[in-house]
Amino acid sequence: MSYPASQNPHEDIRESTYVPELLKGMAITARVFWRNLFGERDLTTRVVERKGLSRVATIAYPEEKPVYPEGYRGLHRLVPRDDGRPRCVACYMCATACPAQCIYIEAAEYDPVDDLRASRVIEKYPKAFVIDQLRCVVCGFCVEACPKDAIRMDTFTHTPPEYSRQSFIYPVDKLLKGTAAVHPSDPWYRREGSGEPAHVHKEAHTRIGPAGRVEVDTGKPVPVTRFLK
Amino acid sequence: MSADAKPAEPPKPAGPPKPAPPKNPGFITCTIDGHEVVVKPGTNMVEAARSIGSDIPYYCYHKRLSIAANCRMCLVEVSNSPKLAPACQTAMSEGLVVKTSTVKVKEVRRSVLELLLLNHPVDCAICDQAGECKLQDYYMRYDFQPSRLEGPKVMKSKRKVLGPAVVIDQERCILCSRCVRFMAEIAKKPQLGIFGRGSHERVDVFPGGALDSNYSVNTVDICPVGALLSRDFRFRARAWFLSAAPSVCSGCSRGCNVYADYMGQDVYRYRPRDNEAVNRSWMCDEGRLTYKPLVQNRLVQPMVGRGADQREAPRSEALAVASSKLRPLAGQGPLAVMASAACSNEDLLGALSFAKGSLGVSQVYVSGRPGGRPDELLLTADRNPNRKGLEAIARALGLGLKPFADLVSAIESGSVKALYAVGGDVPIDVARFVPAAERLELFVLQAANEGPLVAQAHVALPAASHLEDEGSFIQEAGLVQRFRRAFPPRGEAQPHWRWAAELARELAGTTGVTASSREVWKALAAQVPELAGFDWDGAAPVARKAPGINPLPAAADGRPPGYREIVADRARGGTQP
């Protein structure tokens, strides 16, 4: 609604009587009212968990929710490995980058003879990983700082309301969820544990190629490399 | 053949022209990066270049170890050779022109770094050295390009336990051999060696051996990368969160200069600080663990009452109770004073002045930590940092010193019925002193740590540790050494001198010095000849930042990242036993 720049609203009869503007506003309200009543909602915006055939534009949150757009920074999650433990190695990069200082980490060491291969290789894990969701400013720096793809904000939801402040302190068991992430570069696909591999001449072995002219017997206590003619 | 038949010697060829006389006789004058440098003969290029502020990068060079020149990082261009020369190994010569940042040198540095990083696992995320790692620093400064390696890297052992204090990650090692040279040359226990060939070379202990020298953690300090790691510090904190306070190790009477690396009110490790007169660049493994009693199991609240009746009390009440009980005994025979040789000079100045002036004693019983076995390098038998200071201050105040054994027998014979103790350490097993302490009719104790003696005290006052106050120690050779405050005292704890001054005020109404340990020194140190000439302010080590990357130790609100009241207790519990 544009007005000529020279127009003084105090001298304008249309403005000073209020009536035309009032009717104009009523018309807008009525238009939305009738549209809501008979369902002319823009159907390109999806609403999840809506029951029935209602086409009313107003979303009755939290019973109904809109679908957040791609790239929405939602509630954090700690990404699990394919064996269910967190990918996080407690490097404190997220805690260092966090401008709100809402991440608290305590590191610990996995047993060198842990049951899980990835844990044997990785050594370090977060004994405590706590995010204070009340302090968090949802900037996503933690996700960008993470060198291990271990924290993501791809849950497409925001922090749910709680009754106490303590409930907003999210420990590992509240954060560890969602689908596992697997990268071919993950070190536990390259070795059995953090010790020295059984075959110490692995490098020469790979350079020549496993199907090449070298036969390696790793069954014996000392690896024997025999060159074939 | 006669002598004169011998053909005449041909005239000697002229030979090369004689070198010009030195520009500065007795010194070497040369040019580094266009700056004229005058150094003593024998100075190597690294030290000479450092004196004019052009840093030559190196890994294997260490000023206190023999020269290995195996990392090749310090290659520089010199005027007397077509090839590049290793700066750590080459002594400066007269008229030499050295260039440390030409295109050729930069290209060689980049190549050397590429070689060193060829099989490096780049697992900085779990590496404790990250943040203070020379590989990281030099990579960012001199290399900064992705690896060109095709195929997998050589895999070695990633957490091999070498001894009680050290674990090694052989993959991260760049084979500079600093650790091997340290163990052979300084610790005189050649327990480490380099085994294997080519890219399978690794640092290890000899078969069947262990790295169990009392100086093993120094190898962790001098390791330029994250290969050697301290088992005590491993995974407990990232280096960039820690602040360093220049302090003095209180583990024995040597008084090694250290940095106390702390965050919040917790110390995470000690690192040796250079002091040519005392510890050079080293310290012992036993001393490194002496930060633990300074932060663990601390008495943080004044306690009033004894045994089952003991309860926490505010400072004012504890002071009132202590002074009302001490007042009738002041100047009487049954009251004795015990002072620990582990307290600082300022503590002892304040407390012994109070003992003499207000309590009217003429003799002080010496307590302190029990002695131990000395070793051949730094560790001494006396495990108290300030026995010399206690002796000097007592002598200056005219107080006689009596051994601790006399105190036990005096309590048992009944001639001592009340005790004011400065410091909670006793030189015998505490359990053996408890029965004697039980016989005391009054026991006022100023102690830093919880323990069986606190339970026996009628009034126990929490004392600050030496990390929580400015002060000084006199080490065994008579050197006065200043240490700086790292963080404020825990809970209700305060330094011995302040407790003594407040007791004096309650007891006699005198206005003692309660402002700071500096004021205590200014008021009381002049009467002690050993301390009178010491420049307390001037000798304080500068709390300067470590070189390298210096992120803020804490953010704007003074708290480390992730720190919050709700989790703070667990952060304190993070200092493992």
Question: Residue B38: exposed, middle, or buried by beta-carbon count in 10 A (0-12, 13-18, 19+)?
Answer: middle
**Least CB-CB distance to A206: which of B124, B151, B235?**
B151
pLDDT band with cut points at 50, 70 and 90 for residue B488:
confident
Q: Do A202 and B235 touch (CB under 8 A)?
A: no
Nearest to A50 by CA among A68, A40, A62: A62
pLDDT tens-digit series, residues B9-45: 777 777 888 878 888 999 999 999 999 999 999 999 9
pLDDT, residue B553, reads 42
Instruction: Tell how far CA B439 is from the center of its chain.
Output: 40
Dihedral angle sign, alpha carbons of residues B348, B354, B356, B357? positive
Three-class DSSP category at B44 = strand
Q: Number of CB pairs < 8 Å for A and B?
A: 99
Alpha-carbon span B254 to B264, nearest angstrom:
28
The ipTM is 0.83
State yes or no: pLDDT of B548 exceeds 90: no
Angle at A140 between CA A173 and CA A72, to 5 degrees: 90
Dihedral angle sign, alpha carbons of residues B147, B152, B154, B156? positive
pLDDT band with cut points at 50, 70 and 90 for residue B5:
low
pLDDT, residue A205, reads 43
Percent of chain B clearing pLDDT 70 (strictly above):
93
pLDDT band with cut points at 50, 70 and 90 for residue B307:
confident
Least confident interval from A18-22, A49-53, B156-160, B254-258: A49-53
Q: What is the mean pLDDT of residues B317-340?
A: 93
Alpha-carbon span B535 to A227, nearest angstrom:
74
State yes or no: pLDDT of B430 exceeds 80: yes
Alpha-carbon span A65 to B98, nearest angstrom:
71
Average pLDDT of the residues of chain B: 89
Helices B345-357, B387-397: inter-axial angle, 10-degree rounding: 30
Of B375 and B242, the structure prediction assigns the larger pLDDT to B375
pLDDT, residue A212, reads 41
Least confident interval from A61-65, A107-111, B515-519, B541-545: B541-545
**Using a CB-CB distance cutoff of 8 angstroms, which residues of chain A are in contact with residue B170?**
196
| Structure-block tokens of residue B256 | 């090694």
pLDDT, residue B247, reads 93
**Using a CB-CB distance cutoff of 8 angstroms, which residues of chain B are in contact with residue A190?**
152, 155
Three-class DSSP category at B192 = strand
Distance from CA of A100 to the nearest CA of B (A): 8
pLDDT band with cut points at 50, 70 and 90 for residue B167:
very high
Question: Residue B194: exposed, middle, or buried by beta-carbon count in 10 A (0-12, 13-18, 19+)?
Answer: middle
Of B137 and B7, the structure prediction assigns the larger pLDDT to B137
Q: Do A196 and B124 touch (CB under 8 A)?
A: no
**Using a CB-CB distance cutoff of 8 angstroms, which residues of chain B are in contact with residue A202?**
152, 154-155
Contact B118, B146 (CB under 8 A): no
Least confident interval from A26-35, B93-102, B182-191, B436-445: A26-35
- Would you state the torsion angle of the CA atoms of residues B311, B314, B320, B326, taken in this order, to the nearest 10 degrees? 50
Contact B135, B174 (CB under 8 A): yes
pLDDT, residue B284, reads 96
Q: Do B158 and A195 touch (CB under 8 A)?
A: yes
Of B321 and B514, the structure prediction assigns the larger pLDDT to B321
Of B485 and A218, the structure prediction assigns the larger pLDDT to B485
Q: What is the mean pLDDT of residues B408-423?
A: 94
Helices B430-439, B404-413: inter-axial angle, 10-degree rounding: 40
pLDDT, residue B437, reads 93
State yes or no: pLDDT of B203 exceeds 60: yes
Alpha-carbon span B272 to B382, nearest angstrom:
20
Residues 6+ apart with CB under 8 A from B226: B127, B128, B129, B130, B133, B169, B172
Residues 6+ apart with CB under 8 A from B153: A203, B118, B119, B120, B121, B171
Residues 6+ apart with CB under 8 A from A42: A57
**Using a CB-CB distance cutoff of 8 angstroms, which residues of chain B are in contact with residue A121?**
158
Per-residue pLDDT in tens (0 to 9) along chain A, 229 residues: 555 555 676 777 777 788 888 999 999 999 888 877 776 666 666 777 776 666 677 777 877 888 888 889 999 999 999 999 999 999 999 998 888 888 989 999 999 999 999 999 999 999 999 999 998 999 999 999 999 999 999 998 889 999 998 899 999 999 999 999 998 889 998 888 898 887 655 444 444 444 444 455 556 555 444 544 4
Residue B151 touches partner A, C-beta closer than 8 Å: yes
pLDDT, residue B332, reads 84
Of A219 and B487, the structure prediction assigns the larger pLDDT to B487
Residues 6+ apart with CB under 8 A from B543: B244, B245, B246, B484
pLDDT, residue A207, reads 45
Three-class DSSP category at A117 = helix
Strands B85-86 and B97-99: what pairing? Answer: unpaired
pLDDT, residue B551, reads 40
Least confident interval from B420-424, B511-515, B540-544: B540-544
Angle at B564 between CA B558 and CA B568, to 5 degrees: 100
Alpha-carbon span A193 to B473, nearest angstrom:
49
Q: Do A130 and B567 touch (CB under 8 A)?
A: yes
pLDDT, residue B286, reads 95
**Using a CB-CB distance cutoff of 8 angstroms, which residues of chain A are in contact with residue B131?**
none
Angle at A206 between CA A202 and CA A212, to 5 degrees: 125
Distance from CA of A197 to the nearest CA of B (A): 7
Give the H/E segment covering residue B98. Answer: strand B97-99
Least confident interval from A53-57, A101-105, B199-203, B224-228: A53-57
Instruction: Tell how far CA B286 is from the center of its chain.
Output: 12
Q: What is the mean pLDDT of residues B449-475?
A: 95
Give the H/E segment covering residue B168. Answer: strand B166-168
Alpha-carbon span B359 to B361, nearest angstrom:
6
- Phi and psi at A194, nearest 5°, equal -85, 0
pLDDT, residue B242, reads 82
Residue B160 touches partner A, C-beta closer than 8 Å: yes
- Phi and psi at B364, nearest 5°, equal -125, 135
Contact B127, A92 (CB under 8 A): no
Alpha-carbon span B508 to B505, nearest angstrom:
6
Q: Do A104 and B564 touch (CB under 8 A)?
A: yes
CA distances from A80 to A84, A151, B444 (A): 5, 9, 57
State yes or no: pLDDT of B577 exceeds 60: no
- Would you state the torsion angle of the CA atoms of residues A19, A20, A24, A25, taken in this order, to the nearest 10 degrees? -30
| Structure-block tokens of residue A52 | 């029935």
| Structure-block tokens of residue B189 | 């226990």
pLDDT, residue B6, reads 65
Residues 6+ apart with CB under 8 A from B101: B33, B54
State yes or no: pLDDT of B219 exceeds 60: yes
Of B297 and B488, the structure prediction assigns the larger pLDDT to B297
State yes or no: pLDDT of B442 exceeds 90: yes
Residue A200 touches partner B, C-beta closer than 8 Å: yes
Q: How many CB atoms lie within 10 A of CB B458?
A: 22
Of B560 and A174, the structure prediction assigns the larger pLDDT to A174
Alpha-carbon span A49 to B191, nearest angstrom:
69
pLDDT, residue B145, reads 87
Nearest to B418 by CA among B387, B401, B442, B402: B442
| DSSP conformation letters of B339-399 | EETTS-HHHHHHHHHHHHHTS--SEEEEE--------SSS--S---TTHHHHHHHHHHHT-
Beta bridge partners of A227: A214
Contact B162, B168 (CB under 8 A): yes
Q: Do B551 and A200 touch (CB under 8 A)?
A: no
Contact A123, B128 (CB under 8 A): no
State yes or no: pLDDT of B349 exceeds 50: yes
**Least CB-CB distance to B151: which of A108, A191, A207?**
A207
pLDDT, residue B131, reads 86
Dihedral angle sign, alpha carbons of residues B128, B129, B131, B135? negative
| Structure-token match 């600082």, residue found | B344
pLDDT, residue B544, reads 54
